[in-house]
Structure 1
Amino acid sequence: MFQAFVIVSREAIELLLILIALREWARQAQRPGLGPWIAIGVIAGFAAAAAIVATLPETGMNEWLDIALTCGFGLSVALLSCGTMASMAGIGAHASSVFDNWFARRATAIPVLGFVAFSALREALEAFLLIRFVAAANTVHDVAWGVALGLAACALLAAAWQALATSRRTHIVFRLTAVLLFIIGIQMMLEAVVEVLLRGVAGPHLTQVGRAMQPYLENGDRYWLLCAGLAVIPLVLWMRAWWRRAGTVQRR
């Protein structure tokens, strides 16, 4: 049950963070009409993941396809988080303007739908495959309880996020979302790189580098060090922006 809970809650929360960030961007750009497109993207991604899992053999998905999906998803999430951080902290006004102008366009609905569908596909596909693996060694009752509790945990987090937003602390939601998305995106890209290195395609020396990085990735005993190190990056950028604004106010 615990394994199913961890799998479902992790994948669902990752997707939730992406949807929150997109919703806030759409709200800033005064495009509430993008909401239905985001919902359609989620449904399309889940449907595609279910169809793929239904056709896959018991051995699962091709490992290189999995690596490509992980790398592409991580890159897209990292770019989204960078745009969010630029908007929040006043860092890179040009980058923030590009994101805002892009969301303000009428044709934005199609790429938003595609991005959300891809995100939902990747998260649901991993969750479905891992749940299928866990179900082979556990009872249906335990797996079902784990899935239900994982979805409940995600729902509670969504409610807490909504409470922060409605209490006019949207900047807190934005900051937390940006940090978490940045960590998730970079971690996924590193995971994909390590998986490639471990397969020996870049030579034995780089294979050793991949093995040395494994403890710092998900499920490694030093994973918290990677998360802490990645979280420092946006925090330092925000501190620099705050320091500059404080100095400007004092000079006035």
Structure 2
Amino acid sequence: MSEPGDPKPGTVYLVGSGPGDPELLTVKAKRLLERADVVLHDRLPGPAIIDQLPADRCEDVGKRAGGDRTSQPEINERLVELASAGNSVVRLKGGDSFVFGRGGEEAEYLAARDVPFEVVPGVTSATAAPAVAGIPITHRDHASSVSLVTGHEDPDKEESAVDWEALAALGGTIVVLMGVSRLPDYTDALLEAGADPETPVALVERATWPEQRVATGTLETIVAARDEVGIEPPAVTVVGEVAATRDRVLEYLANEPDGEPVEPDTEV
């Protein structure tokens, strides 16, 4: 017998899993994951969440940079196929599926094919990653605006839709998701646009995972700091005066894995 809150047959649930700590799953996301007929996930929710999912009801549709991948059209079609067969389907994404997670594309695709869906927001890494590293993306003394930017645009675009010159002029905080490999490109773009070379920058890798690492520096030094620490995707970049807050709170910050940084921050 179904219970109130059970996932409905033939419905797709676009679920954000948060930054990776299972305790940051919403109550609704956890319930849907436990009761859905099928869960389609990529690797971004992280092993602590993925390893808890029932293997017989899961499909890995992950996309890996430079490697094997399940294309977005294939994922879209699979969602429709599964829902049309009467399954309740969870499409699990890291962070929030509507913040650079292609949730909007999937929602439009489902709606165009008369497939009912429900959006279950998640804790986005755009705010969570800086926060657990001791960095507020807004601060009354340092930043009254935030710009969220993707560092990994659609490769089919003829030119970038990100206006780095405008962002440099705007000030405030810039948060870049999926931008580890292109870090030299956009730091150079901001410098060329007139941003202060001493602007603080932080990179937070695998926020809330046991492997969480942080590199700090400035627009001039952050690429070298990234390489020194060995920061790899997934990571979030924070550009702005707020990034310097970490140094002032780190001694008492309990969010660090096991209470201590995985390895010392490096500022070059």
Pairwise TM-score range, normalised by the shorter structure: under 0.3
The structure that is helix-richer by fraction is: 1
The TM-score, its normalising length taken from structure 1, stands at 0.26
The TM-score, its normalising length taken from structure 2, stands at 0.25
Query: 1 or 2 for the larger relative contact order (CA 8 Å, sep ≥6)?
Result: 1
The structure that is strand-richer by fraction is: 2
